[in-house]
Amino acid sequence: METAGISCFISSPCAHNHSTAVAPRHLRRHYATKNLKQSSIFGESLRIMPRSRFNSVKANSNNSSSSSSSLVTKCEIGDSLEEFLTKSTPDKGLIRLLMCMGEALRTIAFKVRTASCGGTACVNSFGDEQLAVDLLANKLLFEALQYSHFCNYACSEEVPELQDMQGPSEGGFSVAFDPLDGSSIVDTNFTVGTIFGVWPGDKLTGITGAQQAAAAMGIFGPRTTYVLALKDVPGTHEFLLLDEGKWQHVKDTTSIGEGKMFSPGNLRATSDNPDYAKLIDYYVREKYTLRYTGGMVPDVNQIIVKEKGIFTNVSSPSAKAKLRLLFEVAPLGFLIEKAGGYSSDGKQSVLDIVINNLDDRTQVAYGSKNEIIRFEETLYGSSRLKVTEPVGIAA
């Protein structure tokens, strides 16, 4: 699964001084390309393509953007990732960025199975201990985004400062990602994954999740899958990594129905949040099936795959919200809502929350409409979603 000649090294983010300031594009420092050229992760053709070629591609993309609504080619199960994207959007830059991220996910899948699970001497600036495999995934994703030539800025949960990716002056994207969500359970051989959101332009603050052009997660378990959604394409789509290294479209999800399956995160909050305790008691009393791994990626992905259920992660006075809006909550909310589900922080869709700071955190629930109504009514007494009959606890 790993291509021959891949050479990656782990570079501690603690050893670099990253600036959060956004310099004018003409004053940005030029990234050294020597080390990048030594990697063969994306193949020779991607490394040597001249920038003038990308400018031409971008111009063609701009010319065709007005005709995006005229795309009539139907995406089909069995399509390759490239075939699916080509049918789905005329934006060549977005296609290239998502293809490059797919290549990084393919390599991360191999590295997760073989890389060290030992702790490093570093913590990130949020205070989280980093594992060697975190740093490796982090490096591969930054490298993928720079190779795409269509990423303006990128920001990682492991390196939570904006990084200049030297994208185009107009028409590029900015990407926020969690390189390896659930890395603390790698050593127990649980499923883990990568999460990322793609925003048009060069901003990752002062934005909302609803403004994403695309979002995705890579899932590294018994199967390796790439689950993505695009703003102008119905549904959320799953691609399976085949033995020959090809991503194949195997499922699309356009509706999330009702079903008694729950994944309750941050259960310690029930000790001093009686409303959350009341909600959990309801799930148990009504004989919901418990499906919780401790990894946000598999616990949210199962809602999309099974097309039912609810995931909750609620805060309390003693158990504060820890899920980051930019890196985790907004991209996963985009995937859930494109799949026909709903999201909530208790009062509104998580896609409507303005991301003011890179470290903004929130409580969250994802699931079917009735489950989100029950979540909002139980925690706050009412729901923004209209129903004709009360559900669950409120009935």
Distance CA 175, CA 153 (A): 7
> CA–CA separation, 132 vs 118, rounded Å?
6
Residue 262: CB atoms within 10 Å: 23
Instruction: Say how far apart CA 227 and CA 294 lie, in whole Å.
Output: 19
User: Is the pLDDT score of 248 beyond 60?
Assistant: yes
* Three-state DSSP state, 78: coil
Q: What is the structure's pLDDT at 44? A: 36
Pseudo-torsion of CA 71, 74, 79, 83, nearest 10°? -10
* Between 393 and 73, residue with greater pLDDT: 73
User: For the sheet containing 151-156, what is the strand order?
Assistant: 163-164, 151-156, 173-181, 192-200, 214-220, 224-230, 236-241, 247-253
Alpha carbon distance 102, 245 (integer Å)? 10
Q: Is the Cβ–Cβ distance between 368 and 218 less than 8 Å?
A: no
> 180 burial class (0-12, 13-18, 19+ CB within 10 angstroms)?
buried
pLDDT digits (tens, 9 = 90+) for 266-277: 999 999 999 999
Band (pLDDT 50/70/90 cuts) for residue 386 is confident
Q: Judging by beta carbons within 10 Å of its beta carbon (0-12, 13-18, 19+), is residue 40 exposed, middle or buried?
A: middle
- Across the chain, mean pLDDT equals 83
- Check: CB of residue 351 under 8 Å from CB of residue 211: no
Q: Are 295 and 182 in contact (CB under 8 A)?
A: yes
Give per-residue pLDDT as tens, 118-147: 655 456 666 666 678 888 999 999 999 999
What are the residue ranges of helices labelled H in the chain?
34-37, 44-48, 51-65, 81-88, 92-114, 132-148, 274-285, 296-306, 330-338, 369-380
Residue 204 per-residue DSSP state = S
Task: Please report, as a single letter, which amino acid is at residue 213.
Answer: A
| pLDDT tens, position by position, 3-51 | 333 333 333 333 333 333 344 443 343 333 333 333 444 443 333 344 4
Q: Which residues contact 60 (CB under 8 A, 6 or more apart)?
A: 92
**Mean pLDDT, range 194-221, rounded to an integer:** 97
Structure tokens at 387: 């129903």
Report pLDDT for 283.
Answer: 98
Angle among Cα 63, 68, 70 to the nearest 5 degrees reads 115
